[in-house]
Amino acid sequence: MKWFDNVTESVSRKVAQNSSRRSFLSGLGTALIGGAVIPILPVARAADAHGGGQATAPIDGELDDPASCDYWRNCSIDGFLCSCCGGTSTSCPPGTEMSPITWIGTCKNPHDGKDYIISYNDCCGKTSCGNCFCNTNVLDRPTYRPHTANDINWCLGTESAAYHCTVTLVLGVATKKA
């Protein structure tokens, strides 16, 4: 599995070259193929620390980039970003079906400083998108409180339970943390 060796080398090289977690992650995302790195953000953070690098704050632009794990609406996401899968942050890719049942997060919009309730709707019916995997877990809680749990496949009430990607819909301003 030469490609896997290459991945390891690439990770090390990126850690060495970049103090920015942003750059590190985009490099990692490019380098990793197949299912090699699933919990990419936690893994990257750990690899960063292991390699001696210190995680840094998001670059401002990425807070507004729907294809970035640091897009402000993605604070509690666990899956593939539909923005990278032929859809957008609010619409599913062609031929999929949006799940009507979701988990929710509470994410701060950096522009107005308000906390918004975000509905993470899964797009379903096709195999995993495979592009732009993100796992951020702010206010995520275990599956015994399902409505804030991102470990569940939320392709429920759809024709097929096959998970493809996730969109992030604003449901309103939060009056308290969900």
Partner 1 sequence: MKKRLSSFLIFCLFNSFALAELPNDKMGVIGTLPVPYPDHWLLVQDASFFHMLNGKLIVLDAEQKTRNEQYKGTFDNSLIASIAVAKTKPEIYVYETFYTRGNRGTRTDVVTIYDKASLSPLGEIIIPGAKRASMIMSDYTIRLIDDEKLLLLYNFTPSTSVAVVDTVNRKMLSEVSLPSCSLIYPTGKRGFSSICSDASMISIQLDKNGKVKSRNKIASFFDIDADALFERPAMINGIAYFPTFNGNLREVDLKGDKAVPGDSWSLVTSQERAANWRPGGMQLSSADSAGNMYLLMHKDGAEGTHKNPGSEVWVFDVVKRKRVKQIPLQLPGFVIEVSKDKSPWLYVTNVEMNIDVYDAKTGEHIRTLSDFGQESPFKLFSAN
Q: Establish whether 122 is a catalytic residue.
A: yes
The binding track of 148-177 with respect to partner 1, each residue x by CB under 8 A or -, is ---xxx-xx--xxxxx-------------x
What torsion, rounded to 10 degrees, do the Cα atoms 112, 73, 96, 132 define? 130
* Min separation Cβ 163 and partner 1, Å: 7
Interface with partner 1, residue 46, by CB under 8 A: yes
Among 35, 53, 177, residue whose Cα is nearest residue 44: 53
Token pair in block for residue 123: 């797009």
Show contacts with partner 1 in window 62-91 (CB under 8 A).
Answer: 75-76
Looking at beta carbons only, is 7 or 167 nearer to partner 1? 7
**Annotation marks residue 72 as catalytic:** no
Beta carbons within 8 Å of 85's beta carbon, 6+ residues apart: 93, 123, 129, 131, 132, 164, 165
CA 69 to CA 29: how far, in whole Å? 11
Catalytic residue selected from 48, 70, 78, 103: 103
Options 19-27, 81-89, 108-116, 124-132: segment touching partner 1 (CB under 8 A): 124-132
Inter-axis angle of helices 21-31 and 2-17, to 10 degrees?
170
Q: Which stretch binds partner 1 (CB under 8 A): 14-22, 58-66, 81-89, 119-127?
A: 119-127
Which sequence positions are flagged as catalytic?
A: 103, 122
